[in-house]
Amino acid sequence: MNVFRILGDLSHLLAMILLLGKIWRSKCCTGISGKSQILFALVFTTRYLDLFTNFISIYNTVMKVVFLLCAYVTVYMIYGKFRKTFDSENDTFRLEFLLVPVIGLSFLENYSFTPLEILWTFSIYLESVAILPQLFMISKTGEAETITTHYLFFLGLYRALYLANWVRRYQTENFYDQIAVVSGVVQTIFYCDFFYLYVTKVLKGKKLSLPMPI
């Protein structure tokens, strides 16, 4: 396991902690897409079905458990504990537009036509587009809170670091996972415009705003 993988995992974990901390401290989940969080919870659930059957390392097991817990606690806080503050009027992205093609692609393009492998492939494809409801929500409202932009930045950084991890693994191990790499590139592309706005506005103390759809 190389440094890019570790940094990527830490960036991912930091993003989730930032989001949870924001909700807990403010007692409010305004500006956060519950639909994106449901998709991320589904990603971790379908990816980590081997949690108790395939031991890789203590680090791997601990990270899986932490990601699952963070994902489900976030969903609970949005739809349970702080549901009165949830902005459902702006969280309107239609999930079937993502789930239907992702499910179909998982059956068509996978490494082995077995239930666990198809579900793992589904999780990889779904993760690449799971952030779209959140980005759609920001574009619909026209702006995002600073802490939400920090969350998105570290989530995007996690993906960029994983791309570096795959390059490094190819160089040192001659290992190449086409499904993970292509999905990771697609996911990183979704963040490119956001990265630019983050650097040029948020880091300079300005509020992130996006053009609202007509």
- Residues composing the chain: 214
Contact 117, 110 (CB under 8 A): yes
> Which is nearest to 70 in space by CA: 40, 46, 96?
40
Per-residue pLDDT reduced to its tens digit, 19-46:
999 999 999 998 899 999 999 999 999 9
> Which is nearest to 30 in space by CA: 144, 129, 194?
144
What integer pLDDT is reported at residue 208 of this predicted model? 57
User: What is the SS3 assignment for 7?
Assistant: helix
Indicate the domain borders of the chain.
3-207
Extract the tokens encoding 155: 């989530």
Q: Residue 114 gets which letter from DSSP? A: S
CA atoms within 13 A on the CB side of 37: 26
Q: At 214, is the pLDDT very low, low, confident or very high (cuts 50, 70, 90)?
A: very low
Phi and psi at 211, nearest 5°, equal: -65, 130
Contact 40, 100 (CB under 8 A): no
Per-residue pLDDT reduced to its tens digit, 123-148:
999 999 999 999 888 887 767 777 77
Query: Which residues are CB-neighbours of 9 under 8 A, at least 6 positions away?
Result: 63, 158
Side chain identity at residue 68, one-letter code: L
> Which is nearest to 37 in space by CA: 86, 75, 90?
75
CA distance 153 to 189: 13
Q: At 161, is the pLDDT very low, low, confident or very high (cuts 50, 70, 90)?
A: very high
Residue whose pair of structure tokens reads 């290992």 in the numeric block: 175
